[in-house]
Amino acid sequence: MKLTRAWGLLFAAGSVAACSLLTSLNALTPTDASVSNDSSTTDSSVADVAPDSCSDTQSSSGNCGRCGHDCLGGSCLKGSCQPITLATQQVGLGEIAQDDVNVYWLISGGKIMRASKQASDAGASQVGSAGVVGGQHITALAPAVFVAVNSGKSTLFGIDGGEPASGAAPTLMATFPNSMTSRLFVDGTHFYRYDQVSQLLFASARDGSNAVTIWDAGAGGMMGSPPVTIDGDQLVMAYQQTIFEVRAADKNPTVLGVVGNTPGAIAADKDGIYYTSSGAAAVYSIPRGGVEAGSPNPPIDNGGYSNPRLISAGGGHLAWVSDNGNTVEIHGCLAADCSMSKQALVASGPSVAAIAVDARAVYWTDPNRASVYMVAW
């Protein structure tokens, strides 16, 4: 199979200036600062707006670091936007999911929680009248939120993400034949689960039909729990140094390339596939069309990160977590020009369980603090 040789991503029209400040969350409290409630801004790129006055770029939340750069309700310290606490007292935090309006997560008892991406609406509320007992994995595709349970057989439940706590309970959407499954993925037509024991990739149509095997990865020697992500209707997986793409309609995987470092976490958007490598302490990418064997694969950011992990892509941005065992940092950049736009966004301290990214901000869960946060780009 001849694979694409094209390397490099197109440079974005406006690079984001790198910020070196690492921010501690120890003193954070929920903010009630006001921002626009127009949710349509969520999908658009973060554009600088013409300010009435731009005399202070060091502490102005509307002109932070440069004129028109808005911290989305957070404060500005020495030209860097500070994190905002979206929710506290969220015991049992793990994965995070998002749609255009909200972020979602699970807490103890399988309760599905949400918070608005608008900082003025900070605070958590429950989705639906009941939780999903044993819920371990969560994802969202507007307007629905989906939760998977690994017990006996893997079951999947769904509910409208805007359902009030006094409303309906989550309903059973699909059943998968194996219970030792990794993360849950969804597109417009299918649900996907990967079984860590049998190394089978399952898909279940969203019309309620039974799950079917779309790839026997074990037959190809795959073992364990490989990093997996989804973009559109394409699952992207990595095993050792090989990156695959799988579609439910095609079943058989397409090899996109053999890279020089073993991916630890993986993310994708329409332009590229991005991954972290703990061994190389760096972040890499390959073009979406794949690479030819033997092609050079330089890092997009060779920052010398300690245990880089949890990479996420969205809205033209990347964010990843670096964990040296004592300090957990969140870094980010423009996907098209990472080396020139990288930022040290947050030094969060104890723990980051999961991150999500859009054009406006980075969102994450911190189980040690039992809190959910966001910070503007």
Rg, the chain, Cα only: 20
CATH class in words for 16-25+66-87+260-377: mainly beta
Contact by Cβ (8 Å): 276, 320: yes
Q: pLDDT digit string (tens) for 49-72? A: 544 579 899 999 999 999 999 999
Contact by Cβ (8 Å): 260, 297: yes
Q: Which of 10-24, 90-104, 193-207 has the lowest mean pLDDT?
A: 10-24
Q: pLDDT digit string (tens) for 146-174? A: 998 876 678 889 999 999 999 999 999 98
Contact by Cβ (8 Å): 16, 377: yes
Domain assignments of the chain as residue spans, ordered by start = 16-25+66-87+260-377
Q: Which of 77-86, 89-98, 253-262, 345-354 has the lowest mean pLDDT?
A: 345-354
Is the pLDDT at 242 greater than 80, yes or no? Answer: yes
Q: What is the mean pLDDT of the chain?
A: 80
Give mean pLDDT, residues 346-353.
80
Give mean pLDDT, residues 242-250.
86
Residue closest to 148 by CA, chosen among 102, 100, 118, 182: 182
pLDDT of residue 293: 65
In the numeric block, the tokens 């040290």 are attached to: 344
Give mean pLDDT, residues 2-18.
31
Query: Using CB atoms within 10 A of its CB, is residue 44 exposed (0-12), middle (13-18) or buried (19+)?
Result: exposed
pLDDT of residue 322: 87
Query: Using CB atoms within 10 A of its CB, is residue 135 exposed (0-12), middle (13-18) or buried (19+)?
Result: buried
d(CA 174, CA 159): 13
* Other CB atoms within 10 Å distance of the CB of residue 347: 15
d(CA 50, CA 62): 10
Q: Which of 48-57, 198-207, 358-367 has the lowest mean pLDDT?
A: 48-57
d(CA 353, CA 355): 7
Percentage of residues in the chain having pLDDT higher than 70: 81
